[in-house]
Amino acid sequence: MNTIMKQCLSLLILVITLFTPTVLAAESPSNAKVSNTFHLTGQVVFSNLEGGFYGIIGDDGKKYQPTNLPRKLKKDGATIKFDAKIKDNGMSTFQWGTIVELSNVAPITTTISAEERRAIYVLLKRMDAFNTKDLNKLQQIDTVARKLTKEQFGSWVNKYDNFTLQYVDISYSDSISITGSCYYTRELVNGMTLHGNTDLTGMTFTLSQTQNGWKLTESGALTNPINPYNPDVLAELKQKALEKYKTDTLASLWQ
């Protein structure tokens, strides 16, 4: 092999060595950027920090700093619903909350209190964890469930399907806690009783504000137990929901 050919071959090897890792890294699934988006409701707040800006306190209990909050919604105390995408490399001088880019932003007209919205948000997350049979999801918002093993969780939740939140009642709230009761239905899987396969149940709960948002920290039995199979009780509860929420499907609220 002559000198010129050796030099060309060496140059080719050098080029391959320099550029191949870059190409592989770009194509590697582990380096693909994962979209981090979510739907939420919350309240617009004005902060005087560093000359002033508008942020959002989500009903999940977390603070968000939007990069593109519409001018018409820059009102302290405004209640809104929105889709958000976390800006992983977002920079801000305010050091307040998570930086997000908004879409599908709209005002909410509702008579439901902020405390009840927050409770509904957490309880719907709980229903979703039951329906997807996902203990990790449950433990993210329910600190009581962190004591459960997968076997314990599965032995209970696998008996039922279609957990549906029906009604929420708040008895006390302050800046760091929300106490109340809730009612939900569930369907028996692969089975049927004399009363059908759907029953109504309920519980008391306490939510606490933590560094990572609102979490369910206590739950217990209702003071006045309900008849789980009485259709009149469920019908009455659905009527109360219609009057209060204008729907008997809480999962559809603010979508």
Please, where are the H alpha helices in the chain? 3-27, 114-131, 135-141, 150-157, 231-245
Query: What is the spatial distance between Cα 119 and Cα 107, in angstroms, rounded to a whole number?
Result: 20
In this prediction, residue 255 carries a pLDDT of 77
Query: Other CB atoms closer than 10 Å to residue 66's CB: what's the count?
Result: 24
Ordered domains of the chain (ranges, CATH): 37-107 (2.40.50.500), 114-252 (3.10.450.50)
Please state the length of the chain: 255
Amino acid at 162: N
In this prediction, residue 193 carries a pLDDT of 60
The per-residue pLDDT string of the chain (255 residues; one tens digit each, 9 = 90 and over) reads 555 444 544 544 433 333 333 333 333 333 334 448 999 999 999 998 878 999 999 999 999 999 999 999 999 999 999 999 998 776 666 678 999 999 999 999 878 999 999 999 999 999 999 999 999 999 999 999 999 999 999 998 999 999 999 999 999 999 999 999 999 999 988 766 656 788 899 999 999 999 999 999 999 999 888 888 888 999 999 999 999 998 888 998 887
In this prediction, residue 180 carries a pLDDT of 98
Answer whether 162's CB lies under 8 Å from 187's CB: yes
Answer whether 193's CB lies under 8 Å from 177's CB: no
Query: What is the spatial distance between Cα 125 and Cα 14, in angstroms, rounded to a whole number?
Result: 54
Query: What is the spatial distance between Cα 180 and Cα 116, in angstroms, rounded to a whole number?
Result: 9
Residue where the block lists tokens 């929300």: 178
